[in-house]
Amino acid sequence: MNAPNPSETAFSIAAVERDTGLAKDTLRVWERRYGFPSPTRDANGERLYPADQVERLRMIRRLLDHGRRPARIVGASVEELSAMLDACLCPEGGTPAGRDDGLLQLVRLHRSVELAAALRQALMKQGLQRFVAETVAPLAAAVGEAWMRGEVDVPEEHLFTEQVQNVLRSAIGAHAASEGRPRVLLTTFPEEEHVLGLLMAEAMLVPEGASCLSLGTRTPLADIRSAAVSGGFDIVGLSFSIAYPARQAIEGLLELRALLPEEIALWAGGAAVRDKQKRLPGIHVVGDLEDTMAALLQWRRTHA
C-alpha cells in the first residue's frame, strides 16, 4: 500500500506549479536565492520535489496569500510555518463559539451526497436569505480557515463550491425573474475566479425584489461598462476574494468608476476591499452581507 514509489512521493516542477500555484520561474529562483526548495534530480537532471517539500511550499503559498513576504518564510521550518499559519487565524482569538462544523466535516470527508442533501435541507428550513447568512457564509469562512490550516485542498474546495453553487443557483432561479428596482449587475474582475461572493450577494438581493444579472467571473472592464450601460442597470456589484491583491482591486475600481456614468452606482465587497472605503471615493464598500441589505435600503430611500 505504501510502497515508496518515487512517482508517488516526488513531483516534477510542472506538477508542483499546478499544486502550489507557484510559477516554475519562482520555484527555480527561490532555490537559487534561499536554498529552498532543494529538489533532487532525476536521471535527466530534472527537478524532483519530495512530497514534504511540496507540503511546505503549500504552507508558504497560503502565508503569501495573507500578505507575508518570501524572505522571512521561505527558509522557515514546518513548525515555524505552522505557528505563523495559526497566528493568521482568528487574530481576535478563538473560533466563533457554537459554530456548526457538521457541514465542514462533510466537505473534508468528501461526502458529496450528504453535503448536497444537508445544504438543500438547510435551505428549506431557513429560507434563502437566512441560509446564505447563517449557513453558507459561515461554512465558506470555515472552509477558508481549513484551507489555511491545510486541512482541505483543491478537490475539497471544489466540491464545496460546486454544491453550494448548485443550491444557490436553483434557489435564485426559483424567484420569478423580477422587474423590480434596483437593477443590479454582478461580476468580478478578470483575475478573480471566485464565484460564491457573487452568488451570495444575488441570493440576498433577489428576495428583496431587486433584479439581478450575473455576468459570472472574469469580466474585462470594458465589458462591464458596456453591459451596465446598455442593460440600463442602476448598480454594478464587484466581488473580491481574500487572495485578490488589494492594490489591484483599488486601481481597477477607480478605473471602472471613471468609465461608468455617474448615475450608475458602484458597489464592492469582499475581503480585499474591506476597510478601504476612504481610498475609494464614489464607490460603496459593502463589508458583509448585512451591509448589502443596508446599502439596498439606502439606495431605495435615495431613489424613491
Partner DNA sequence: AACCACGTTTGTCCTGGACAAACCGAACTC
Partner DNA sequence: GAGTTCGGTTTGTCCAGGACAAACGTGGTT
Q: Which residues bind DNA (CB under 7 A)?
A: 12-14, 23-26, 28-30, 32-33, 43-47, 64, 67, 69-72, 245, 247, 278
Q: How far is CA 5 from the centre of its chain?
A: 35
Strands laid side by side in the 47-50 sheet: 10-11, 47-50, 40-41
- Tell the smallest beta-carbon distance from residue 188 to DNA (Å): 19
**Backbone Cα Rg of the chain:** 22
- Tell the smallest beta-carbon distance from residue 273 to a second copy (Å): 23
Q: 10 Å Cβ neighbour count for 28?
A: 14
Cα–Cα distance measured from residue 79 to residue 301, given in angstroms and rounded to the nearest whole number: 54
**Partner whose footprint covers residue 45, from a second copy, DNA, none (CB < 5 to 8 Å by kind):** DNA
DSSP β-ladder status, 265-270 and 235-240 = parallel
259 near a second copy (CB under 8 A)? no
221 near a second copy (CB under 8 A)? no
Q: By CB under 8 A, name the one of 223, 251, 255, 290 that touches a second copy.
A: 223
Judge whether 20 and 58 are in contact, CB under 8 Å.
yes
82 near a second copy (CB under 8 A)? no
**Partner whose footprint covers residue 44, from DNA, a second copy, none (CB < 5 to 8 Å by kind):** DNA
Name the grid cell of 37: 526548495
Judge whether 286 and 292 are in contact, CB under 8 Å.
yes
Q: How many chain residues touch a second copy (CB under 8 A)?
A: 37
Amino acid identity of residue 87, one-letter, is A
**Partner whose footprint covers residue 126, from a second copy, DNA, none (CB < 5 to 8 Å by kind):** none
Contact residues toward a second copy (CB under 8 A) are 110-113, 116-117, 120, 154-155, 158-159, 161-162, 165-167, 169-174, 177, 213-220, 223, 226-227, 230-232
